[in-house]
Structures are given as C-alpha cells and as structure tokens.
Amino acid sequence: MDYTSLAGELQSLVKGSVKVHEPMKQHTTWRIGGNADLFVDPGDKDDIRRTVEFAAAHDIPLTVIGNGSNLLVKDGGIRGLVLKVGRGLAGISVEGATIKAGAGAMLPELAAAARKASVGGFEFAAGIPGSLGGAVIMNAGAMNGCVADVLLAVEVINEQNQFLTLTKEELGFSYRSSNLQNKGYICVSTLWQGYPKGKDLIEQETRDYVARRKAAQPRGYPNAGSVFKNPEGDFAGRLIEACGGKGLRVGDAEVSTKHANWILNLGNATARDVLTLIDKIKKMVQESFGVSLHLEVRVLGED
C-alpha cells in the first residue's frame, strides 16, 4: 500500500497533520514502540470523522490513541492508520460548577481549570498524566478519586461514524474500566460536574495529593505508571515486591525499586524487554500467591 500517496490524499481532507512511518515511541510515555504506517493528529472532531471515513473507504486498519501514558506499542509498530486524539481537541470551558473539555485535554489541565474556577471534585486528577478520552475509557483515578465520580457525559463517534452522547450511567463504570473498552467508539468531548469549593482548600489538597504521588512513585525514567490492576482486596505492587520482583531487569526494562508495579525504561528498553518482564512477574506472583495479575496498560502493534 502506498502510504505516502494516501497521506497526501488524507491531508487534503483534514485540518490536522498527517505523517508517514511515524515513530510511536514519540507518542508513548514509555518512549517505546515501532512506527505507524500512517499517523493523524486531528485538528478538531470533524477531522476525526473524516479520518474514520477515509480509513473505511480505503480498507485501512484504524487504531485510536490518546496521550500514550497507558500504552505499550510493540517493536514492529502499528499497521494501518493511528489516530491520536490530542491537542486539536484540548479546549476547556467552565460554567458554574460544570466543565466541558475536549477529549485531548489532559487530566492535570482539567484539575487546573477547576481549581481556577473554585470547583471541587477534581483534585485527584492533578497528578495523572493522561488525556481525558483515555481517562474516561479506563475510569482513571488516584487518591480515592476517579473519573466516574465527576463525569456527567461523553460525546463519542460510534461505529456508524455518527456523533453520540452517552451519560455516565450508560458507560458501565467499574474499577479501571468502562464498557467503552469493548466498543469501537472514539471519545471526542467530555462533560463534568463538580461543586463549589474554596480555592485555597482546593490548592492545599492538590498540593498534598501531588506531593504524596511524587513521594511514592519513581522519577527520572520513562514509564507508563501502574502496569497491573490491583487485585481485589490487595495491591499488585505489594505482591510483586513480596515475591522478590523489585529490581528485576530484562534488557533496559526494570521493575522499579521504589514501586514494584512500575516498569522503567532505563534508556533503550524494547517492547519485547517489557513484555518478557511482564510475563516473569505474572508467573512469580501466580506461583507465590495463586493470584493472576491483569494488565492495566494497553498493548498494541506487532512484533
């Protein structure tokens, strides 16, 4: 398939940028991943609709990503077209205690907008480096708060390439999950509801949350945050540490010595290094405790 020619054709249809053979390591916080055949950074939600239509018309596989903070792309890259819901959909507006934000905005930006407007409920989001679209899909959270606590509704593009608004109740939220994970929907905008709260109190609680996260989490190396979901009634990091997983290393991928549920890229880690390490950890925990760990990160692409 002549992706250079296809890129030119698609570029004539969208406001955003279209690239060929784009390194995915530039779009994941792990800084790992092979190339995408085609890569689109849309300028607005209509760009998304046009890109979906283009991919379908040319029978090109379509993969949608957000900020890449919860993503491992394999070393062979991603075939077809990768659509990144990013800065072209990052606008935020506040009216009273209601906030409307594009799916490409970041959780810390949402928290900052709420803080500026004296709207409470979003303090937990200040230290989570993810986009809103991805955060909704996985019900991201921290410090006893999560997306499901404050989301009202989300606008998506459905499998028929139509805009559709879904309420929180329709999303089937559970721990680090929503029913959007099993549907071919693309989040384009979000609607949130907070409550009036003193700005000084919001700022103090936010500082406390961010400080606690910094104290508990590794710094200085590319990573994707928590690799595994916490098993019910326990913590993945505790189990990994208890069976001797801290500091375990494959190539340049290492289980953090500070937080055992984080895998760090010490410089030149490959996806294969990370996946091998993930398999070792899962086997160790299963053999030691009889617990099956399940990934919180999303794995895409081919070897």
Task: Say if residue 100 is in the same domain as residue 183.
Answer: yes
Confirm whether 172 is domain-assigned. yes
Specify whether 272 is catalytic. no
Final residue of a domain: which of 84, 108, 136?
Answer: 84
Confirm whether 224 is domain-assigned. no
Specify whether 296 is catalytic. yes
Residue in 109, 155, 254, 296 annotated catalytic: 296
Percent of the chain with pLDDT over 90: 86
Q: What is the tens place of the pLDDT at every residue in 37-52?
A: 999 999 999 999 999 9
The whole-number average pLDDT for the span 174-184 is: 87
Task: Say if residue 117 is in the same domain as residue 203.
Answer: yes
User: What was the pLDDT predicted at 97?
Assistant: 97
CATH number of the domain where residue 59 is located: 3.30.43.10
Task: Say if residue 277 is in the same domain as residue 163.
Answer: no
Task: Say if residue 104 is in the same domain as residue 209.
Answer: yes
CATH number of the domain where residue 142 is located: 3.30.465.10
The whole-number average pLDDT for the span 269-287 is: 98
Confirm whether 223 is domain-assigned. no
Specify whether 241 is catalytic. no
Q: What is the tens place of the pLDDT at every residue in 126-170?
A: 988 889 999 999 898 887 789 999 999 999 999 899 999 999 999
Residue in 131, 178, 189, 226 annotated catalytic: 226
Residue in 49, 50, 115, 176 annotated catalytic: 176
Three-state secondary structure string covering the chain: CCHHHHHHHHHCCCCCEEEEEEEHHHHCCCCCCCEEEEEEECCCHHHHHHHHHHHHHCCCCEEEECCCCCEEECCCCEEEEEEECCHHHCCEEEECCEEEEECCCEHHHHHHHHHHCCEECCHHHHHCCCEHHHHHHHCCEECCEEHHHHEEEEEEECCCCCEEEEEHHHHCCECCECHHHHCCCEEEEEEEECEECCHHHHHHHHHHHHHHHHHHCCCCCCCCCECECCCCCCCHHHHHHHCCCCCCEECCEEECCCCCCEEEECCCCCHHHHHHHHHHHHHHHHHHHCCCCCECCEEECCC
CATH number of the domain where residue 259 is located: 3.90.78.10
Overall number of domains in the chain: 3
- Could you list the residue range(s) of the whole structural domain that residue 176 is in? 90-216
Q: What is the pTM of this model?
A: 0.91
User: What was the pLDDT predicted at 129?
Assistant: 85
